[in-house]
Amino acid sequence: MIPVLTAEKMQRVDAFTIGQLGLPGAVLMEGAGRSVVDSLRRFPASAACRAPVVLCGPGNNGGDGFVVARWLLASCAPLWPKVFLTGKLDQLAGDAALMASAAINFGVEVFELAEDNLRPLADALDESDLVIDSLLGSGASGAPRGLIASIVAEVSGRSLPVVAVDSPTGVEMDSGAVPGCSLAARLTVTFGCEKPGHRFYPGRECCGEVIRTDIGFPQRAIDEAGCDLFVCESEDVCGLLPPRRDFSNKGDYGKVLVIGGSTGLTGAPVMSSLAAMSSGAGMVTAAVPESLNQVFETRLTEVMTLPLPDDGRGNFSGRAVQVAARFIADGMDVVALGPGIGRNGRTVEFIRKLAPCIEVPVVLDADGLNAFAGEARALSSFAGPLVLTPHPGEMARILDVPLGDVVAAPLEAARRLASQSGAVVLLKGPPTVVCSDGQPAVISPTGCSAMAKAGSGDVLTGTLAALIAQGMEPFEAAYCGAYIHGLAGELAAEAFGEYGLMATGLSDALPEAIRTVLGEG
């Protein structure tokens, strides 16, 4: 997995590498600047590299920029790079001062900028085709102001490609927030570990393509920093997928019960059920309102149905609790509860009464989640392991907080709900993040805008249920299922386009996504 560190934890990595392991800071800075130049060679927008403008702040991030400028000298001649410093050369200290001196000795031109005179910068930008943003480090917070804000405005008024050194100016890298103006990059080169702002929006959008480079931080230093957030990769998912044995039968791959459906919402449990089958579950049963059973019998051929008592209008009745509980106890391995179930008062009562009767894992989604609006701690009433799959709106209702709070700090919201409920929490993205109290959180990097369609969440619910049914632990099933689900969206979008993909196409792409993860695609 890819570690994601806050600025404070990254400082610990720096300090341990330099202080405890004896690798000089100047060596790390040299490696950082050199890695940016190496990354530029793979970046088409910088191919011409005509008179690049390098923007440097007075700290270590600016020191990286001086290294970039020095290494660009040879590849950009005879139009040399120019460095514009937001401070005074004689006020630089430490490794940044060392690298500035070296750059000047090698022939790099350095201009000290003042807010009342940006004319030299404007003239240089008119002659350039590339800007290197090395103004602020990943620990910067708040909106750019003063000279920095003026520089952002000057650069943003042109269509020049910007390459950010570690972090784009204006993005709070600990959260991904953009509290004011920002310098949007087409490429961001980061060192050793990613930061939250490389993954969470709106900051993610300012980063462009992100390249993570190795500049010498040992794994020991990262471990010492105490990483509690990771990005899962294909190999992580591949290593956890349940094996398929030649000598096996449908009973070896789990039994899934999908409980849901109501008048006007029959499609949701259908999609969850089919997704569970497409993700490897051995047997799937859809427990549906008995007055709507014929609809499901017609639409589901590979999936069995279990008619549950209802009120005659497509809403589960209180009598359905005992029937469902008995069926689950007779051999179900996992329950997917909520797709299309509706918000009728009797339905909410059915969900709340059924919860303590289910001792197997439950994937709770859609209106199954809304049944606990404002009562996150009541989710502990489920007798077995629980996976919650809210989108931001559902998360806000459960936690009883404004939607904007969840959107602004999704990781914090997911961790809070995991702590209050004792459940595994999968907060749908972008990006999707998975939390469980006491464990590091995991970001799923897959998915695309084509998945922003009704029904995509129902497909995810079925995918998670299938993986749990096949023996995966709920936390691992959550982030692996999110990865597969997002990859299926990417693959299906290639066929149907960003506009035309529907949830059924997403479900149909699940087998190809799994084959791709396993290296069979």
Q: In the chain, helix, strand, coil percent, each to 5? A: 50, 15, 35
Locate tokens 């009120």: which residue?
311
Domain 234-517 has CATH 3.30.360.10: no
pLDDT tens digits, residue range 44-84?
Answer: 654 456 789 999 999 999 999 999 999 988 776 556 789 99
Give me the count of residues in the chain. Answer: 521
Report d(CA 84, CA 184) in Å as an integer: 18
The closest alpha carbon to 120, from 170, 57, 51, belongs to 51
pLDDT attached to residue 252: 86
Distance from the Cα of residue 391 to its chain's centroid: 13
Q: Using CA atoms, how far apart are residues 226 and 213, in angstroms rounded to an integer?
A: 20
The Cα 346–Cα 49 span in angstroms is: 67
DSSP letters spanning 20-78: IT---HHHHHHHHHHHHHHHHTT-GGGSS--S-EEEE-SSHHHHHHHHHHHHHHHHHTT
Query: Cα separation of 468 and 466, whole Å?
Result: 5
CATH class of 7-225: alpha beta
pLDDT tens digits for the chain (521 residues)? 999 999 999 999 999 999 989 999 999 999 999 999 989 887 765 445 678 999 999 999 999 999 999 998 877 655 678 999 998 998 999 999 999 999 999 999 999 988 888 899 999 999 888 999 999 988 899 999 999 999 999 999 888 999 999 999 999 999 999 999 999 999 999 998 999 999 999 999 999 999 999 988 989 999 888 999 999 999 999 999 999 888 889 888 999 999 999 999 999 999 999 999 999 999 999 999 999 989 998 888 899 999 999 999 999 998 999 999 999 999 999 999 999 999 988 999 999 999 999 999 999 999 999 999 999 999 999 999 999 999 999 999 999 999 999 999 999 999 999 999 999 999 998 999 999 998 999 999 999 999 999 999 999 999 999 999 999 999 999 999 999 999 999 999 999 988 999 999 999 999 999 999 999 86
Angle of helix 94-106 relative to helix 60-76, nearest 10 degrees, comes to: 20
- What is the DSSP pairing of strand 2-3 with strand 229-231? antiparallel
Domain segments of the chain as ranges = 7-225, 234-517
Q: Give per-residue pLDDT as tens, 90-110.
A: 899 999 999 999 999 999 999
Rounded to 10°, the helix 25-40/94-106 angle is 50
Collect all residues with Cβ–Cβ distance below 8 Å to 248 and sequence separation of at least 6.
none
- 109 CB-near residues (< 8 Å, 6+ apart): 80, 81, 82, 83
